[in-house]
Structure 1
Amino acid sequence: MAGTAVVTGASSGIGAATVRRLAKDGYDVVAVARRADRLREVARETGARALPVDITDAGAVRRLADALDACDVLVNNAGGALGAESVATASVDDWERMFSVNVLGTLRVTQALLPLLRQGAGGTVVTITSTAAFTTYEGGGGYSAAKHAEHALSETLRLELCGEPVRVIEVAPGMVKTDEFALNRLRGDAAKAAALYEGVDHPLTADDVAACVALAVGLPQHVNIDHLVVRPLAQAAQHRLHRGPLIHRKNEHGIEERPTREFPA
């Protein structure tokens, strides 16, 4: 086996995709999330061990650590966004929840599993943040603030572990289309959630991000990818998004067609 990998937020989206990918790569995967029913489905599909845990509960996180004999890779993926209101009108409760899960949850799990990660030939901590961790945008104040804090946690941890065989890696995705992220953020408004991705040719998928995690983790232990930013080709920056055909496709005759695009003179 490649070792034991613990993945938080594993019941859906990027977390579930990471469980699938690391299990495929030979890891003994421990899948962690609040929703026990969804977690069991992922476990049945992948052979992972399901441990229902709310990472905002300090006691539950301690019990998670007590249940493990080893941890070679920790993927801090649990998180999410709530609301798209301005700073002036945002809900303080939403901000507290985002900080509780994205920042304090990551801190709790990392602290609890660090003794195991320090054992053996070396460990790896991967934290999934976002391009919002270094670029702000209107309506994203709370989420961006939480991801900035998570980025600072990761950067500081790397400095503090210098001299120990523990890698600290941050993967910061741009636009990723999953079943739940935008829907949860926009309080279940499916039309608004769909509009975010309208016309975007191939936004990232959860599997794309999982592949980046597997790439970073699979490198030799002396190779540390400090900060991996991954975006879809259509997204050049947080505010620079192309909507329209972009990727070559085959037509009904099996002939590959190049997307048409007007270029400025």
Structure 2
Amino acid sequence: MIALITGATSGIGMGCAKRFARGGYDLIVTARNERKLEQLKAELEQLGAKVLTLTFDVRDREATARAVGDIPAEWRNIDVLINNAGLARGLEPEYEGSYRDWDEMIDTNIKGLLTMTRLVVPGMVERNRGHVINIGSVAGDAAYAGGGVYCATKAAVKTITDGLRIDVAQTCIRVTDIKPGLVETNFSKVRFHGDAERAGHVYDGIRPLTGDDIGDVAFYAASAPGHVQIAEVLVLATHQANGTVIHREK
């Protein structure tokens, strides 16, 4: 079995890669940083997986198409596509937001996901098997202050995932939207443009989820019997009730 995971070199992507490697999958892992991909490849091979690395940015449609088009024949029958590459930028009020930040979120979280889906899913349809797992967010359920554009991109992920599930209902392909809450990754550091101190405060007073936790959920969905489709999973830390209600220990 083969799983392709975008944004695989950190956080949820890495958690998924390691869990699927332990579960017997061979892996196609993608990211923008070739050095980190090679480090990940070595770790995954120690877990017994065969690994193919692809270096590209999902925002670059032509580069993405070239990379996927050049996948060797023995790797082309992709069983699971995990559209994980995504990010948040900034937490300013919408009327003060950065055009550049908006473009980066929309181009990565929505357009990049659509590009990968368009490139990989036709092969699944032809083979009449496969599973698409999109990493959404609790942020897609309701907007919060300063996060309107990010929340909109994750709401789009839900709608796109639901639409794909409708479009492949006549096939044996399954489609899953996993919506994590607080996950301690480099997500907040990216959001705050590298401000590690500010990012760290996001997790003050609460034990957040980890990338490995979400990897477990993704593997569970992929491992369900063929007649079972885990359509949507909302995964929160125990003291998080939704996107904005969080109990923090003092």
TM (normalized to structure 2)?
A: 0.93
* CA deviation map 1:181-215 (0-9, x unaligned): 10110111122111111111x21001000000000
- 1:4 and 2:16 correspond: no
Q: CA RMSD in A?
A: 1.2
Report which of the two has the higher share of helix. Answer: 2
User: 1:151 offset after TM fit, Å?
Assistant: 1.3
| Counterpart for residue 170 of structure 2 | 163
Q: Following the alignment from structure 2 to structure 1, what is the Cα–Cα distance between the partners of residues 195 and 60?
A: 29
Report which of the two has the higher share of strand. Answer: 1
**Equivalent position to 1:205, from 210, 224, 248:** 210
Aligned runs of 1:177-256 on 2, under 5 Å? 177-178=184-185, 180-200=186-206, 202-244=207-249
Give 2:228's aligned amino acid: V
User: 1:121 offset after TM fit, Å?
Assistant: 5.5
Q: Following the alignment from structure 2 to structure 1, what is the Cα–Cα distance between the partners of residues 19 and 57?
A: 23
| Counterpart for residue 249 of structure 1 | none
| Counterpart for residue 150 of structure 1 | 157
Aligned runs of 1:71-90 on 2, under 5 Å? 71-90=78-97
User: 1:131 offset after TM fit, Å?
Assistant: 0.3
* CA deviation map 1:77-100 (0-9, x unaligned): 000100001111001211111000
User: 1:220 offset after TM fit, Å?
Assistant: 1.2
Deviates more, 1:116-125 or 1:225-234: 116-125
Unaligned runs of 5+ in 2: 46-50
Give 1:165's aligned amino acid: C
| Counterpart for residue 29 of structure 1 | 27
Is contact 2:188-2:199 (8 Å) kept? yes
Aligned residues: 241
- 1:60 and 2:66 correspond: no
Unaligned runs of 5+ in 1: 246-265
Is contact 1:72-1:116 (8 Å) kept? no
Q: Which one scores higher on RCO, CA 8 angstroms, separation ≥ 6?
A: 2
Aligned runs of 1:36-47 on 2, under 5 Å? 36-47=34-45
Give 1:81's aligned amino acid: A
Give 1:112's aligned amino acid: L
TM (normalized to structure 1)?
A: 0.88
- Report SS of the residue matched to 1:14: helix
Question: Post-superposition, which runs of at least 4 consecutive aligned residues in structure 1 deviate over 3 A?
Answer: none
Q: Following the alignment from structure 2 to structure 1, what is the Cα–Cα distance between the partners of residues 28 and 123?
A: 14
Greater C-alpha radius of gyration: 1
Percent identity of equivalent pairs: 35
User: 1:119 offset after TM fit, Å?
Assistant: 4.0
